[in-house]
Amino acid sequence: MRKRVLVTGGAGFLGSHLCKRLIQDGSDVLCVDNYFTGRKENIAELLDSPHFELMRHDITFSLYVEVDEIYNLACPASPIHYQFDPVQTTKTSVHGAINMLGLAKRLKATILQASTSEVYGDPAVHPQTEDYWGNVNPIGPRSCYDEGKRCAETLFFDYHRQHGLNIRVARIFNTYGPRMHPNDGRVVSNFIMQALRGEPITLYGDGSQTRSFCFVDDLIDGLIKLMNAPDEVTGPVNLGNTAEFTIRNLAETVIALTGSSSNIGYEPLPEDDPRQRQPDISLAKSALGWEPVVELEEGLRKTVAYFKQFL
Ligand SMILES: NC(=O)c1ccc[n+]([C@@H]2O[C@H](COP(=O)([O-])OP(=O)(O)OC[C@H]3O[C@@H](n4cnc5c(N)ncnc54)[C@H](O)[C@@H]3O)[C@@H](O)[C@H]2O)c1
């Protein structure tokens, strides 16, 4: 019997890679998406598969389907997109979680939440371990995303405690790779697009803020391992790459890989932009036997190839 797996946000960047991997691994996939930031092109290669089904649906409304597992990824993930309609962003995280948890409860299905490192806000401890409660502004322009995701985590753990639901919560750190949105304002896609167009590469602040970047294949591996882990491994589990790079360092690598003639330009730091973010992945290593294996340069090369084709 093939497992029937629901992926919400399946036409998005991470969702499309997840759908493909699950089908390759022998599951039947139901992809649900409202195409707010997702694109049919992302899952075009799966449309002919008898093991893939696509459904246009907004998860803030109830959904009645029959599946064995749910990966809840639906939510705009980049500031440009989640700040476009912040009320809808919170609704997607909160009402969406309630609807998907209700579905999982009815079906006795295991459900995984794509949470985020943003639950740590502008962290006061480095690197962040899962027991750090975060430093989040509840009323700022990023709050619709950060607090929405925090509330979704609360709901997951309450459904677990109150209804005995099998849950998994992954706290995903900065992930990049082919099928990222070219215009989502995220640093990797921004830099590559600017470099390929020969435009100045925009650094916010002096570029000394650091980020860790996880290649999409590694991340998908982590999500699947978490879903398949024993039921007591509920998470939250950090999934990300521990190698830290300054934003300036990233800009220089992108310029080198694209052979671009772009210069570096400077803009003021946006409000609530964290100075540093780095995961502690000890738990993922011990509980899932997971750690990223793709080096930044190798992942960037594949991402640059995708954007070149896209342009
Ligand atoms: N990419 C990252 O670096 C990263 C980091 C942390 C967390 N995450 C989380 O992973 C998930 C996927 O992120 P992504 O980078 O693939 O973003 P994405 O924007 O490419 O994908 C999100 C998908 O959800 C869909 N969607 C949005 N609202 C919906 C709704 N109400 N109903 C149905 N579908 C809806 C979008 O159309 C899109 O296809 C998100 O939940 C995000 O918060 C991603």
* Three-state DSSP state, 104: helix
- 284 CA distance to ligand 1 middle (Å): 22
Q: Which of 145, 176, 266, 306 is catalytic?
A: 145
- Within 6 Å (CB) of ligand 1, which residues are found? 8-9, 11-15, 33-38, 58-60, 73-77, 92, 96, 114, 116, 172, 174-175
How many angstroms separate the CA atoms of 197 and 133, rounded? Answer: 41
Q: Ligand 1 pocket: which of 8, 14, 142 to mutate (most atoms <8 Å of CB)?
A: 14
How many angstroms separate the CA atoms of 276 and 288, rounded? Answer: 26
Nearest atom (ligand 1) to Cα of 186: 3
**pTM as predicted:** 0.96
- 263 CA distance to ligand 1 middle (Å): 31
Nearest atom (ligand 1) to Cα of 184: 19
Q: What is the phi/psi pair of residue 132, to 5°?
A: -80, 130
| Whether 145 is catalytic | yes
Alpha-carbon torsion, ordered 86, 140, 251, 210, to 10 deg:
-130
Which residue's alpha carbon is at the smallest distance from atom 9 of ligand 1? Answer: 114
Nearest atom (ligand 1) to Cα of 96: 31
Print pLDDT tens along the chain (311 aa): 899 999 999 999 999 999 999 999 999 999 999 999 999 999 999 999 999 999 999 999 999 999 999 999 999 999 999 999 999 999 999 999 999 999 999 999 999 999 999 999 988 898 999 999 999 999 999 999 999 999 999 999 999 999 999 999 999 999 999 999 988 888 999 999 999 999 999 898 889 988 899 999 999 999 999 999 999 999 999 999 999 999 999 999 999 999 999 999 998 987 666 677 789 999 999 999 999 999 999 999 999 999 999 88
- 183 CA distance to ligand 1 middle (Å): 15
Joined tokens for residue 122: 């502008």
- 16 CA distance to ligand 1 middle (Å): 10
- 209 CA distance to ligand 1 middle (Å): 24
How many angstroms separate the CA atoms of 279 and 209, rounded? Answer: 15
Joined tokens for residue 137: 């502004």
